[in-house]
Structure 1
Amino acid sequence: MFHKEGAKIILISTLTFVILLLLSPVLISNFWILKTVQILLLLLLITVLQFFRNPNRHLEVDDYTIVAPVDGKVVVIEEVFEPEYFKDKRIQVSIFMSPINVHVTRYATSGKVKYSKYHPGKYLVAWHPKASTENERTTIVIENRIFGEIMYRQIAGALAKRIINYAEEGMQVRQGDDAGFIKFGSRVDIYFPLGTTINVKLNQTAIGNRTIIATK
Protein backbone atom coordinates (compact mmCIF):
# COMPACT_ATOMS: atom_id res chain seq x y z
CA MET A 1 0.00 0.00 0.00
CA PHE A 2 1.37 3.42 -0.97
CA HIS A 3 0.60 6.86 0.40
CA LYS A 4 -1.49 9.15 -1.80
CA GLU A 5 1.20 11.86 -1.65
CA GLY A 6 3.48 9.62 -3.67
CA ALA A 7 1.04 8.87 -6.51
CA LYS A 8 2.48 11.39 -8.99
CA ILE A 9 6.12 10.58 -8.24
CA ILE A 10 5.46 6.82 -8.40
CA LEU A 11 3.69 7.17 -11.76
CA ILE A 12 6.46 9.31 -13.26
CA SER A 13 9.18 7.04 -11.85
CA THR A 14 7.53 3.88 -13.16
CA LEU A 15 7.00 5.33 -16.65
CA THR A 16 10.59 6.60 -16.74
CA PHE A 17 11.87 3.19 -15.62
CA VAL A 18 9.91 1.37 -18.34
CA ILE A 19 11.04 3.78 -21.06
CA LEU A 20 14.71 3.61 -20.03
CA LEU A 21 14.52 -0.15 -19.67
CA LEU A 22 13.21 -0.47 -23.23
CA LEU A 23 15.75 2.01 -24.63
CA SER A 24 18.80 0.70 -22.78
CA PRO A 25 19.49 -2.29 -25.13
CA VAL A 26 19.40 0.11 -28.08
CA LEU A 27 21.71 2.67 -26.46
CA ILE A 28 24.14 0.30 -24.71
CA SER A 29 25.87 -2.52 -26.60
CA ASN A 30 28.13 -3.86 -23.84
CA PHE A 31 26.31 -6.69 -22.03
CA TRP A 32 27.70 -6.07 -18.54
CA ILE A 33 27.25 -2.30 -18.70
CA LEU A 34 23.69 -2.86 -19.90
CA LYS A 35 22.87 -5.19 -17.02
CA THR A 36 24.49 -2.83 -14.50
CA VAL A 37 22.41 0.10 -15.75
CA GLN A 38 19.22 -1.98 -15.68
CA ILE A 39 19.90 -3.15 -12.13
CA LEU A 40 20.59 0.44 -11.00
CA LEU A 41 17.33 1.60 -12.61
CA LEU A 42 15.42 -1.17 -10.82
CA LEU A 43 17.03 -0.31 -7.47
CA LEU A 44 16.13 3.35 -7.95
CA LEU A 45 12.50 2.46 -8.65
CA ILE A 46 12.38 0.17 -5.60
CA THR A 47 13.79 3.00 -3.44
CA VAL A 48 11.05 5.38 -4.61
CA LEU A 49 8.35 2.76 -4.00
CA GLN A 50 9.54 1.86 -0.52
CA PHE A 51 9.82 5.51 0.48
CA PHE A 52 6.11 6.08 -0.17
CA ARG A 53 4.88 2.86 1.42
CA ASN A 54 2.03 3.29 3.87
CA PRO A 55 1.61 0.17 6.02
CA ASN A 56 -1.87 -0.42 7.41
CA ARG A 57 -1.38 -0.24 11.19
CA HIS A 58 -4.72 -0.30 12.93
CA LEU A 59 -4.74 0.61 16.61
CA GLU A 60 -7.33 0.91 19.35
CA VAL A 61 -7.71 4.59 20.23
CA ASP A 62 -6.53 5.25 23.79
CA ASP A 63 -6.56 8.77 25.26
CA TYR A 64 -4.24 7.60 28.05
CA THR A 65 -1.37 6.92 25.64
CA ILE A 66 0.58 8.95 23.08
CA VAL A 67 1.79 6.75 20.22
CA ALA A 68 4.71 7.40 17.90
CA PRO A 69 3.54 9.60 15.01
CA VAL A 70 6.31 8.32 12.72
CA ASP A 71 8.84 5.53 12.24
CA GLY A 72 12.42 6.32 13.18
CA LYS A 73 15.02 6.60 15.92
CA VAL A 74 14.52 8.47 19.19
CA VAL A 75 17.33 11.06 19.21
CA VAL A 76 16.21 13.55 21.87
CA ILE A 77 14.53 13.24 25.28
CA GLU A 78 15.02 16.40 27.31
CA GLU A 79 13.37 19.26 29.14
CA VAL A 80 13.38 22.40 26.98
CA PHE A 81 11.82 25.84 26.77
CA GLU A 82 9.22 25.91 23.99
CA PRO A 83 9.06 29.51 22.66
CA GLU A 84 6.45 29.40 19.91
CA TYR A 85 3.17 28.36 21.51
CA PHE A 86 3.49 27.27 25.15
CA LYS A 87 6.28 29.71 26.08
CA ASP A 88 7.25 27.54 29.02
CA LYS A 89 9.19 24.36 29.76
CA ARG A 90 8.13 21.07 28.17
CA ILE A 91 9.51 17.58 27.69
CA GLN A 92 10.70 17.18 24.12
CA VAL A 93 10.93 13.78 22.41
CA SER A 94 12.37 13.79 18.89
CA ILE A 95 12.23 11.00 16.31
CA PHE A 96 14.62 11.11 13.36
CA MET A 97 13.53 9.50 10.08
CA SER A 98 16.12 8.34 7.59
CA PRO A 99 15.23 8.15 3.88
CA ILE A 100 14.47 4.41 4.26
CA ASN A 101 11.87 4.88 7.02
CA VAL A 102 8.13 5.13 6.45
CA HIS A 103 7.48 8.87 6.19
CA VAL A 104 3.77 8.99 6.90
CA THR A 105 2.94 11.24 9.87
CA ARG A 106 0.06 9.99 12.00
CA TYR A 107 -1.85 11.69 14.80
CA ALA A 108 -0.22 10.64 18.07
CA THR A 109 -3.39 11.37 20.01
CA SER A 110 -7.05 12.24 19.49
CA GLY A 111 -8.52 15.66 20.14
CA LYS A 112 -9.11 19.12 18.73
CA VAL A 113 -6.49 20.94 16.67
CA LYS A 114 -5.87 24.20 18.55
CA TYR A 115 -2.95 25.49 16.46
CA SER A 116 -1.48 24.70 13.05
CA LYS A 117 1.19 26.86 11.43
CA TYR A 118 3.70 26.49 8.61
CA HIS A 119 7.16 28.06 8.91
CA PRO A 120 9.50 28.43 5.92
CA GLY A 121 13.14 27.95 6.82
CA LYS A 122 16.49 26.31 6.22
CA TYR A 123 17.34 22.70 5.40
CA LEU A 124 19.89 21.82 8.06
CA VAL A 125 20.41 18.10 8.68
CA ALA A 126 17.42 16.94 10.71
CA TRP A 127 19.46 15.98 13.79
CA HIS A 128 21.03 19.45 14.06
CA PRO A 129 20.11 21.14 17.41
CA LYS A 130 18.80 24.23 15.58
CA ALA A 131 16.63 22.24 13.15
CA SER A 132 13.60 22.61 15.45
CA THR A 133 13.65 26.40 15.20
CA GLU A 134 15.43 27.21 11.92
CA ASN A 135 14.38 24.54 9.40
CA GLU A 136 11.22 24.49 7.31
CA ARG A 137 8.59 23.07 9.66
CA THR A 138 4.97 22.90 10.73
CA THR A 139 3.80 23.24 14.32
CA ILE A 140 0.57 21.54 15.39
CA VAL A 141 -1.10 21.51 18.81
CA ILE A 142 -3.81 18.99 19.68
CA GLU A 143 -5.90 19.30 22.84
CA ASN A 144 -6.48 15.84 24.31
CA ARG A 145 -8.96 15.29 27.16
CA ILE A 146 -6.39 13.45 29.30
CA PHE A 147 -3.00 14.99 28.44
CA GLY A 148 -4.18 18.49 27.68
CA GLU A 149 -2.34 20.24 24.85
CA ILE A 150 0.27 18.17 23.00
CA MET A 151 2.46 19.76 20.32
CA TYR A 152 4.26 18.07 17.47
CA ARG A 153 6.50 19.55 14.78
CA GLN A 154 7.19 18.14 11.34
CA ILE A 155 10.71 19.29 10.48
CA ALA A 156 12.33 19.16 7.05
CA GLY A 157 15.82 17.72 6.77
CA ALA A 158 18.67 18.32 4.36
CA LEU A 159 16.86 16.43 1.59
CA ALA A 160 13.22 17.04 2.52
CA LYS A 161 11.80 19.89 0.45
CA ARG A 162 8.12 19.49 1.07
CA ILE A 163 6.10 18.99 4.24
CA ILE A 164 2.47 17.89 3.92
CA ASN A 165 0.24 18.79 6.88
CA TYR A 166 -3.45 17.86 7.01
CA ALA A 167 -4.19 19.39 10.43
CA GLU A 168 -6.31 22.56 10.38
CA GLU A 169 -7.35 24.60 13.40
CA GLY A 170 -10.72 23.52 14.76
CA MET A 171 -10.56 19.98 13.34
CA GLN A 172 -11.35 16.96 15.49
CA VAL A 173 -8.69 14.35 14.80
CA ARG A 174 -8.41 10.67 15.66
CA GLN A 175 -5.33 8.95 17.02
CA GLY A 176 -3.62 6.88 14.33
CA ASP A 177 -5.14 8.61 11.30
CA ASP A 178 -2.88 10.16 8.63
CA ALA A 179 -1.72 13.63 9.67
CA GLY A 180 0.61 14.34 6.76
CA PHE A 181 3.83 13.36 5.05
CA ILE A 182 7.43 14.60 4.91
CA LYS A 183 9.37 13.84 1.75
CA PHE A 184 12.93 12.46 1.87
CA GLY A 185 14.45 12.48 5.36
CA SER A 186 13.21 14.48 8.31
CA ARG A 187 12.30 14.60 12.00
CA VAL A 188 9.29 15.01 14.26
CA ASP A 189 9.46 16.67 17.70
CA ILE A 190 6.74 16.05 20.29
CA TYR A 191 6.27 18.29 23.33
CA PHE A 192 4.65 17.04 26.55
CA PRO A 193 3.70 18.74 29.83
CA LEU A 194 6.31 18.37 32.58
CA GLY A 195 5.64 15.29 34.66
CA THR A 196 4.48 13.18 31.71
CA THR A 197 5.72 9.57 31.90
CA ILE A 198 7.97 8.95 28.88
CA ASN A 199 8.05 5.32 27.79
CA VAL A 200 10.92 5.40 25.28
CA LYS A 201 14.69 5.68 25.59
CA LEU A 202 17.38 7.40 23.55
CA ASN A 203 18.37 5.50 20.38
CA GLN A 204 15.27 3.32 20.59
CA THR A 205 13.57 2.49 17.31
CA ALA A 206 10.03 3.87 17.23
CA ILE A 207 7.28 2.48 15.02
CA GLY A 208 4.38 4.73 14.04
CA ASN A 209 1.02 3.68 15.54
CA ARG A 210 2.82 0.96 17.53
CA THR A 211 5.38 2.40 19.94
CA ILE A 212 3.91 4.10 23.03
CA ILE A 213 5.82 7.33 23.60
CA ALA A 214 4.07 8.52 26.77
CA THR A 215 1.37 7.46 29.20
CA LYS A 216 -0.82 8.99 31.90
Structure 2
Amino acid sequence: MFHKEGHKIIFISLVIVVGAVLIIDYFIQLPWLRTSLMLLFVVFLVLILQFFRNPKRNTILNEKQAVSPVDGKVVVIEEVFEKEYFNDKRIQVSVFMSPINVHVTRYPISGNVLYSKYHPGKYLVAWHPKASEENERTTIVVENNSFGKILYRQIAGALAKRIVNYAKVDDKAIQGADAGFIKFGSRVDLFLPLDADVKVTLNQVVKGGESIIAEI
Protein backbone atom coordinates (compact mmCIF):
# COMPACT_ATOMS: atom_id res chain seq x y z
CA MET A 1 0.00 0.00 0.00
CA PHE A 2 1.39 3.39 -0.98
CA HIS A 3 0.64 6.83 0.44
CA LYS A 4 -1.50 9.08 -1.75
CA GLU A 5 1.23 11.76 -1.68
CA GLY A 6 3.43 9.41 -3.69
CA HIS A 7 0.97 8.34 -6.41
CA LYS A 8 2.04 10.99 -8.93
CA ILE A 9 5.76 10.50 -8.29
CA ILE A 10 5.41 6.71 -8.48
CA PHE A 11 3.56 6.94 -11.81
CA ILE A 12 6.15 9.31 -13.30
CA SER A 13 9.00 7.13 -12.02
CA LEU A 14 7.37 4.01 -13.49
CA VAL A 15 7.02 5.68 -16.91
CA ILE A 16 10.66 6.82 -16.79
CA VAL A 17 11.96 3.40 -15.77
CA VAL A 18 9.93 1.48 -18.37
CA GLY A 19 11.01 3.94 -21.08
CA ALA A 20 14.64 3.76 -20.01
CA VAL A 21 14.64 -0.05 -19.96
CA LEU A 22 13.17 -0.19 -23.48
CA ILE A 23 15.73 2.31 -24.80
CA ILE A 24 18.61 0.50 -23.12
CA ASP A 25 17.44 -2.84 -24.47
CA TYR A 26 17.22 -1.43 -28.02
CA PHE A 27 20.43 0.63 -28.18
CA ILE A 28 22.92 -1.00 -25.79
CA GLN A 29 24.61 -4.05 -27.30
CA LEU A 30 27.07 -5.02 -24.55
CA PRO A 31 25.21 -7.55 -22.34
CA TRP A 32 26.96 -6.57 -19.08
CA LEU A 33 26.35 -2.85 -19.66
CA ARG A 34 22.72 -3.39 -20.71
CA THR A 35 22.01 -5.50 -17.61
CA SER A 36 23.79 -3.07 -15.27
CA LEU A 37 21.87 -0.05 -16.56
CA MET A 38 18.54 -1.87 -16.36
CA LEU A 39 19.25 -2.93 -12.78
CA LEU A 40 20.17 0.64 -11.89
CA PHE A 41 16.78 1.94 -13.04
CA VAL A 42 14.93 -0.92 -11.33
CA VAL A 43 16.73 -0.14 -8.05
CA PHE A 44 15.72 3.51 -8.45
CA LEU A 45 12.05 2.47 -8.81
CA VAL A 46 12.26 0.17 -5.77
CA LEU A 47 13.67 3.03 -3.65
CA ILE A 48 10.81 5.31 -4.69
CA LEU A 49 8.25 2.60 -3.88
CA GLN A 50 9.70 1.86 -0.45
CA PHE A 51 9.86 5.54 0.44
CA PHE A 52 6.14 6.09 -0.18
CA ARG A 53 4.97 2.87 1.44
CA ASN A 54 2.14 3.27 3.93
CA PRO A 55 1.89 0.14 6.08
CA LYS A 56 -1.20 -0.43 8.17
CA ARG A 57 -0.66 0.20 11.86
CA ASN A 58 -2.67 -1.23 14.74
CA THR A 59 -3.12 1.70 17.09
CA ILE A 60 -4.65 0.85 20.47
CA LEU A 61 -6.67 3.98 21.30
CA ASN A 62 -5.88 5.32 24.75
CA GLU A 63 -6.56 8.93 25.77
CA LYS A 64 -3.91 8.75 28.51
CA GLN A 65 -1.12 7.74 26.13
CA ALA A 66 0.72 9.53 23.31
CA VAL A 67 2.00 7.32 20.52
CA SER A 68 4.87 8.12 18.20
CA PRO A 69 3.69 10.17 15.21
CA VAL A 70 6.39 8.70 12.94
CA ASP A 71 8.82 5.84 12.44
CA GLY A 72 12.42 6.57 13.37
CA LYS A 73 14.90 6.93 16.22
CA VAL A 74 14.51 9.00 19.39
CA VAL A 75 17.27 11.63 19.31
CA VAL A 76 16.14 14.16 21.95
CA ILE A 77 14.50 13.85 25.38
CA GLU A 78 14.81 17.06 27.38
CA GLU A 79 12.98 19.82 29.20
CA VAL A 80 12.77 22.95 27.05
CA PHE A 81 10.94 26.27 26.83
CA GLU A 82 8.40 26.08 24.00
CA LYS A 83 7.83 29.61 22.74
CA GLU A 84 5.54 29.32 19.71
CA TYR A 85 2.33 28.22 21.40
CA PHE A 86 2.69 27.36 25.10
CA ASN A 87 5.27 29.93 26.21
CA ASP A 88 6.28 27.68 29.07
CA LYS A 89 8.39 24.63 29.81
CA ARG A 90 7.61 21.29 28.19
CA ILE A 91 9.24 17.91 27.71
CA GLN A 92 10.54 17.63 24.16
CA VAL A 93 10.84 14.22 22.53
CA SER A 94 12.25 14.24 18.99
CA VAL A 95 12.16 11.40 16.47
CA PHE A 96 14.54 11.46 13.50
CA MET A 97 13.53 9.76 10.24
CA SER A 98 16.11 8.59 7.72
CA PRO A 99 15.20 8.38 4.01
CA ILE A 100 14.51 4.64 4.42
CA ASN A 101 11.89 5.11 7.16
CA VAL A 102 8.14 5.30 6.58
CA HIS A 103 7.39 9.03 6.33
CA VAL A 104 3.68 9.09 7.15
CA THR A 105 2.86 11.42 10.08
CA ARG A 106 0.18 10.14 12.47
CA TYR A 107 -1.77 11.86 15.25
CA PRO A 108 -0.11 11.11 18.63
CA ILE A 109 -3.40 11.48 20.51
CA SER A 110 -7.09 11.72 19.75
CA GLY A 111 -8.78 15.04 20.39
CA ASN A 112 -9.49 18.47 18.96
CA VAL A 113 -7.00 20.30 16.74
CA LEU A 114 -6.49 23.70 18.38
CA TYR A 115 -3.64 25.09 16.27
CA SER A 116 -2.09 24.36 12.89
CA LYS A 117 0.48 26.63 11.26
CA TYR A 118 3.00 26.32 8.44
CA HIS A 119 6.37 28.08 8.65
CA PRO A 120 8.65 28.46 5.62
CA GLY A 121 12.32 28.20 6.49
CA LYS A 122 15.77 26.76 5.92
CA TYR A 123 16.80 23.16 5.17
CA LEU A 124 19.40 22.44 7.82
CA VAL A 125 20.09 18.77 8.54
CA ALA A 126 17.20 17.48 10.64
CA TRP A 127 19.32 16.76 13.72
CA HIS A 128 20.74 20.31 13.82
CA PRO A 129 19.84 22.01 17.18
CA LYS A 130 18.29 24.99 15.36
CA ALA A 131 16.26 22.90 12.88
CA SER A 132 13.18 23.01 15.14
CA GLU A 133 13.06 26.83 14.92
CA GLU A 134 14.69 27.68 11.58
CA ASN A 135 13.75 24.91 9.11
CA GLU A 136 10.59 24.63 7.06
CA ARG A 137 8.05 23.20 9.52
CA THR A 138 4.45 22.90 10.62
CA THR A 139 3.22 23.12 14.19
CA ILE A 140 0.05 21.34 15.32
CA VAL A 141 -1.58 21.27 18.76
CA VAL A 142 -4.10 18.60 19.73
CA GLU A 143 -6.00 18.43 23.03
CA ASN A 144 -8.08 15.83 24.83
CA ASN A 145 -9.53 15.70 28.34
CA SER A 146 -7.16 13.03 29.67
CA PHE A 147 -3.74 13.93 28.27
CA GLY A 148 -4.26 17.65 27.86
CA LYS A 149 -2.45 19.47 25.06
CA ILE A 150 0.29 18.03 22.87
CA LEU A 151 2.22 20.03 20.32
CA TYR A 152 3.93 18.15 17.50
CA ARG A 153 6.10 19.76 14.86
CA GLN A 154 6.93 18.34 11.43
CA ILE A 155 10.40 19.55 10.47
CA ALA A 156 11.93 19.37 7.01
CA GLY A 157 15.51 18.13 6.69
CA ALA A 158 18.30 18.79 4.20
CA LEU A 159 16.56 16.56 1.63
CA ALA A 160 12.92 17.06 2.62
CA LYS A 161 11.57 20.16 0.94
CA ARG A 162 7.87 19.52 1.11
CA ILE A 163 5.81 19.00 4.23
CA VAL A 164 2.21 17.86 3.88
CA ASN A 165 -0.07 18.59 6.84
CA TYR A 166 -3.73 17.54 6.88
CA ALA A 167 -4.55 18.90 10.36
CA LYS A 168 -6.86 21.91 10.40
CA VAL A 169 -8.16 23.86 13.38
CA ASP A 170 -11.35 22.31 14.80
CA ASP A 171 -10.67 18.94 13.14
CA LYS A 172 -11.30 15.83 15.23
CA ALA A 173 -8.00 13.97 15.43
CA ILE A 174 -7.97 10.20 15.83
CA GLN A 175 -4.92 8.70 17.48
CA GLY A 176 -2.73 6.90 14.93
CA ALA A 177 -4.65 8.25 11.91
CA ASP A 178 -2.90 9.75 8.89
CA ALA A 179 -2.05 13.40 9.66
CA GLY A 180 0.38 14.18 6.87
CA PHE A 181 3.64 13.30 5.14
CA ILE A 182 7.22 14.62 4.99
CA LYS A 183 9.18 13.86 1.83
CA PHE A 184 12.77 12.57 1.91
CA GLY A 185 14.25 12.64 5.41
CA SER A 186 13.08 14.71 8.36
CA ARG A 187 12.20 14.89 12.05
CA VAL A 188 9.18 15.33 14.31
CA ASP A 189 9.31 17.04 17.73
CA LEU A 190 6.68 16.42 20.40
CA PHE A 191 6.17 18.82 23.29
CA LEU A 192 4.52 17.12 26.26
CA PRO A 193 3.26 18.31 29.67
CA LEU A 194 5.95 18.29 32.39
CA ASP A 195 4.04 15.63 34.34
CA ALA A 196 4.02 13.21 31.38
CA ASP A 197 5.75 9.90 32.05
CA VAL A 198 8.12 9.37 29.11
CA LYS A 199 8.28 5.71 28.07
CA VAL A 200 11.09 5.88 25.49
CA THR A 201 14.85 6.25 25.76
CA LEU A 202 17.48 7.96 23.62
CA ASN A 203 18.35 6.05 20.42
CA GLN A 204 15.29 3.83 20.77
CA VAL A 205 13.69 2.89 17.45
CA VAL A 206 9.98 3.67 17.45
CA LYS A 207 7.08 2.87 15.15
CA GLY A 208 4.50 5.47 14.19
CA GLY A 209 1.01 4.83 15.56
CA GLU A 210 2.14 1.97 17.79
CA SER A 211 5.11 2.85 20.02
CA ILE A 212 4.07 4.63 23.23
CA ILE A 213 6.05 7.84 23.72
CA ALA A 214 4.49 8.91 27.02
CA GLU A 215 1.49 8.54 29.27
CA ILE A 216 -0.19 10.82 31.76
Q: Give the aligned partner of residue 123 of structure 2.
A: 123
Question: In the alignment, residue 146 of structure 1 is paired with which amino acid?
Answer: S
Q: Give the aligned partner of residue 3 of structure 1.
A: 3
Q: Give the aligned partner of residue 81 of structure 1.
A: 81
Q: Give the aligned partner of residue 153 of structure 2.
A: 153
- More displaced 10-residue stretch of structure 1: 109-118 or 26-35: 26-35
Q: Is the 8 A contact 2:60 2:210 kept in 1?
A: no
The 5 Å alignment of 1:194-205 reads: 194-205=194-205
Is 2:20 the partner of 1:34? Answer: no
How many residues end up aligned between the 2 structures? 216
Q: Give the aligned partner of residue 108 of structure 2.
A: 108
Q: Is the 8 A contact 2:103 2:181 kept in 1?
A: yes
Q: Is the 8 A contact 2:126 2:156 kept in 1?
A: yes
Question: In the alignment, residue 110 of structure 2 is paired with which amino acid?
Answer: S
Indicate the SS of the match to 1:167. Answer: coil
Q: Give the aligned partner of residue 173 of structure 1.
A: 173
Q: Give the aligned partner of residue 52 of structure 1.
A: 52
| Cα deviation 1:159-182 (Å, max 9, x = unaligned) | 001000000001111101100000
Structure 2 spans left out of the alignment, 5+ residues:
none
Alignment RMSD: 0.7
Post-superposition offset of 1:15: 0.9
Indicate the SS of the match to 2:81. Answer: strand
Question: What's the % identity of the aligned pairs?
Answer: 62
Q: Give the aligned partner of residue 133 of structure 1.
A: 133
Structure 1 spans left out of the alignment, 5+ residues:
none
Is 2:66 the partner of 1:62? Answer: no
How far apart are the structure 2 equivalents of 1:145 and 1:55? Answer: 29
| Cα deviation 1:31-62 (Å, max 9, x = unaligned) | 11111111111110000000000001122211
Q: Give the aligned partner of residue 215 of structure 2.
A: 215
Indicate the SS of the match to 2:114. Answer: strand
Question: In the alignment, residue 106 of structure 2 is paired with which amino acid?
Answer: R
| Cα deviation 1:141-188 (Å, max 9, x = unaligned) | 001211111000000000001000000001111101100000000000
Post-superposition offset of 1:136: 0.1
Question: In the alignment, residue 76 of structure 2 is paired with which amino acid?
Answer: V
Question: In the alignment, residue 136 of structure 2 is paired with which amino acid?
Answer: E
How far apart are the structure 2 equivalents of 1:27 and 1:94? Answer: 50
Post-superposition offset of 1:27: 2.7
Indicate the SS of the match to 2:191. Answer: strand
| Cα deviation 1:48-83 (Å, max 9, x = unaligned) | 000000001122211011011100000000001111
Q: TM-score if structure 2 supplies the norm length?
A: 0.98
